[in-house]
Amino acid sequence: MTQLAARLGLELPLLQAGMGAVAGPGLCAAVSRAGAGGTLALYKEPPARAVRLVREVAAATGRPFGVNVVPEAAGPAACLDQLRAVLPELPRSAFVTSFGLPDADAAGAVRAAGHPLVVQVGTVADAGSALGLGAAVLVLQGTEAGGHLLGRLPVDSLLADVRARYPYALLAVAGGIATGRDLAGAVARGADGAMAGTLFVPAEESIAHPEFKRRVVEAVADDTLVTSLFDIGWPHRPHRVLRNPLTAATTAAATAKRAPATFIATTRVDGREHPVPRYSAAAPGAGTTGRIEEMAMYCGRSCTRVTARLPAAVIVARLGREYESARGNSSPRPTPRPTPRPNRLQERYR
């Protein structure tokens, strides 16, 4: 057990990413029951619906799980409203993850409620800012990761830089994690654990669209690319996606005229249909119909090692066995670091 697993009450030092249109209550609860850190995506959910989703997870598992907020996409005010709604519903063992830096009010609300704050960052500077906000765990996202990218460094370079600057911080890595060997390698290089997203997109409990799942399973690393194409609803943030007809048109002729941002699909949520324009940041979920092939399918380079659609429990169990085997065969073993004193980690880096 790493310090990260101990801090969050997990059996395996692995967090499941809180991906919009993928990480619903079923996936979150299944990953949690399997001993890893299941995470529920709140993304742009209205507070009332967010509460219902949290209650569904809490009824399905007694083990630690998390909720994920995205301040940059939802907006700081909406993010705070989500947190104020769901924090009273979370079990004491739950944690909160933030994709990107939360503002001081959001971070303060999480700390006041007594839950560990896990912040995903992509730069050394943001790592320091997150610790200053009271983050208990940092997730360091490398450019290998699928989805929106928070920095420009490969994950191992970012890990080395942040570990050198903040030797006592609890660090997980995101990007390139699909097997237990990947996880063991990250721990051997100085991480306390990892976060995986692409690995769980095809899981049986994932709410991703079946075509999205199929594409991830069949993809290899070079089927992904980093683009800024899918910017409606989340501008100014590059993202790694699977190649599709829209990305092909863009890469074939950089000066090609952009197709009109007309509605190409609809997504059904709570009995209501929501139109999806071309170039939307929204990923296709199970309730999406229309031109799925033109939508953003976020996927990391680890897809090469994601080759089947399996129950989340099977995915976590297999990864756990591979992790223990890889650690048993690794040499040298990672050097333990001293455990920071309670409640002093953030003060150390203010």
Instruction: Give pLDDT, residue 343.
Output: 42
Query: Mind listing the pLDDT tens digit for each residue in 36-65?
Result: 999 999 999 999 999 999 999 999 999 999
At 348 the pLDDT is 42
Phi, psi for 179 (deg, rounded to 5): -135, 165
> Structural domains in the chain?
3-204+306-339 (3.20.20.70), 210-303 (no CATH)
Q: Give residue 271's pLDDT.
A: 86
Tokens of 207: 């709410």
Strand 193-196 relative to strand 65-69: parallel, antiparallel, unpaired? unpaired
Phi then psi dihedrals of residue 240, to 5 deg? -100, 125
Q: What contacts 272, CB < 8 A, 6 or more positions away?
A: none
Per-residue pLDDT tens for 199-244? 999 999 999 999 999 999 999 999 999 999 999 999 999 999 999 9
What whole-number distance in Å separates Cα of residue 87 and Cα of residue 107?
A: 12
Instruction: Pick the more confident residue, 172 or 345.
Output: 172
Q: How far apart are CA 165 and CA 213, in angstroms?
A: 38
The candidate with the shortest Cα–Cα distance to 32, out of 180, 216, 203, 161, is 203
Higher pLDDT, 329 or 80: 80
Q: Which residues contact 215 (CB under 8 A, 6 or more apart)?
A: 242, 297, 299
Q: What mean pLDDT, rounded, does the chain reach?
A: 93
Chain segment 306-348, per-residue pLDDT in tens: 999 999 999 999 999 999 999 987 544 444 455 454 444 444 4
Q: Pairing between strand 263-269 and 288-290?
A: antiparallel
Residue 277 predicted with pLDDT over 60: yes
**Whole-angstrom distance, CA of residue 115 vs CA of residue 305:** 33
| Positive/negative CA dihedral, 147, 153, 156, 161 | negative
Quick check: 116 and 205 in contact, CB under 8 A? Answer: no
The pLDDT, as a whole number, for residue 249 is 80
| Rounded distance between C-alpha atoms, residue 230 and residue 233, angstroms | 9
- The amino acid that residue 294 corresponds to is E
pLDDT at 137 over 70: yes
Of 204, 201, 183, the closest CA to residue 192 belongs to 183
DSSP string, 296-348: --B--GGGGG------HHHHHHHHHHHHHHHHHH-SSPPPP-PPPPTT-HHHH
